[in-house]
Homo-oligomer: A and B are copies of this chain.
Amino acid sequence: MLKISHRGEQMPASPIRKLVPYAEAAKKKGTKVYHLNIGQPDIETPKQTLDAVRHFDFKVLEYSHSAGNESYRRKLVGYYKKVGIDIDYNQIIVTTGGSEAILFGFMSCLDAGDEVIIPEPFYANYNGFAVAADVTVKPITSYIKNGFALPPIEEFEKAITPKTKAIVICNPNNPTGYLYSKEEMEVLKDIVVKHDLYLFADEAYREFCYEGTHYSAMNLKGAENNVVLMDTISKRYSACGGRIGAFITKNKTVLDTAMKFAQARLSPPSFAQILGEAAVDLPDDYFDNTKAEYKKRRDVIVKRLNEMPGVFCPEPGGAFYAMASLPIDDADLFCQWLLDSFSYKNQTVMLAPATGFYGTSGLGKQEVRLAYVLNTEDLNKAMDCLEKALAEYPGRAVSAK
């Protein structure tokens, strides 16, 4: 009998996409669905970056360098300098999305059976790359009651075993929106240096900080060899479909190793490298507007959520996600019910159940993630739906907050 692989069986289906058939069915019935379930921004990709692609002038769509076009990597140095990160162009490998940067990191630094510590809730696809790399995720729980702050150092110390090889941190955080302070980053530095661990830093949402300042893991003094930055232009420039990211480290051995994985897949996509290169030339105030828009949306959604009886949503300091605890029995059931059994003025809302973001089974059953990627008018309508839904939902329960 032909069998699929064990890791193929273990591979989780996307928790965010599994409700898609229910959303499609709702739309077929004529119900308008507000999508707060995925991090696909509605912000327009900057016109001048799209124009750069339109005006390419090559005649042969060739492989680029396996590390990405040198011209792009040299320009990226300027981008990183602006955000306070000092690197050389040959410390950058351009990747196929942030996803591939994560995969290269796991593959280059971790072996089958190794453990990686990740504060939960965390970006669900880390699970997927861990399964691909045969690595075990050891979650450390952060809690909604204190806004998902970094768990105390003792929790990390307790979780570290001889098999622990790395910590993954997403800052600002997806799904919680939490922005780690410089002090918290220093705590992480102390841990990784003391225990010889890698620190994989996913900073996809660097530009979107509404309170305080972003402190990059690349600036942790003394941890230069531990830190691997996993970056992407997807959210920064609303360019998710380009599939352009970056794997960056000052650790030459790790970089050389990742480069071998990069060579095996030949090159990152050519067209969107042009877009990424043009994006470095956007005016310095480009992010001001985008950030102001996201902040406005955040304020709307957080206010609306906290006004609902039994709902609690800590204010996210960055990214474009909010986590909320709801007075419900089961987030998965509730999110499905929103799509297959509820509508208000012929509209409903699609949310991501938080269960998929926890590594510890049973956690997140009263929590949902909301991506505030719609304009405030639509957000308000989506919140109207949610408010009505919570009043109607047969599985209403006392909030766990």
Contact = CB atoms under 8 A, between A and B. Distances in A.
Contacts of A269: 96, 241-243, 269, 271-272
Contacts of A33: none
Interface string A325-358: 0000000000000000000000000000000000
A41 B134 CA distance: 37
A61 B275 contact: yes
Interface stretch (A3-11, A209-217, A299-307): A3-11
Given A42-B60, A43-B60, A240 B261 contact: no
A388 B242 CA distance: 47
A62 B50 contact: no
B61 A50 contact: yes
A99 interface: yes
Interface stretch (A72-80, A103-111, A154-162, A374-382): A103-111
Name A's interface SS.
loop
Contacts of A12: 260
A268 interface: yes
Given A5-B111, A8-B260, A265-B99, A240 B129 contact: no
Interface stretch (A249-257, A282-290, A391-399): A249-257
A270 B241 contact: yes
A350 B241 CA distance: 36
Contacts of A61: 45, 50, 238-242, 272, 275
Nearest to A271: B271
Contacts of A239: 61
Interface string A213-242: 000000000000110000000000011111
A2 B265 contact: no
Contact of A4 (B5, B41, B254): B254
A107 B132 contact: yes
A110 B112 CA distance: 14
Contact of A271 (B198, B254, B272): B272
B243 A96 contact: yes
Contacts of A164: none
Nearest to A127: B264
A40 interface: yes
B266 A240 contact: yes
A39 to B, nearest CB: 9
Interface in A360-375: none
A318 interface: no
A374 to B, nearest CB: 12
Interface string A1-29: 11011111101111001000000000000
24 contacts: A1-B196, A2-B226, A5-B107, A5-B109, A5-B111, A5-B257, A7-B111, A8-B108, A11-B264, A38-B63, A45-B61, A50-B59, A53-B53, A53-B56, A53-B271, A61-B239, A62-B240, A99-B266, A107-B132, A112-B112, A125-B263, A128-B260, A241-B267, A269-B269
Given A5-B109, A241-B271, 4 more contacts: A1-B196, A4-B253, A45-B59, A128-B263
Please give me the 5 A-B residue pairs with the lowest Cβ-Cβ distance, nearest first. Answer: A128-B264, A241-B270, A271-B271, A8-B257, A14-B263
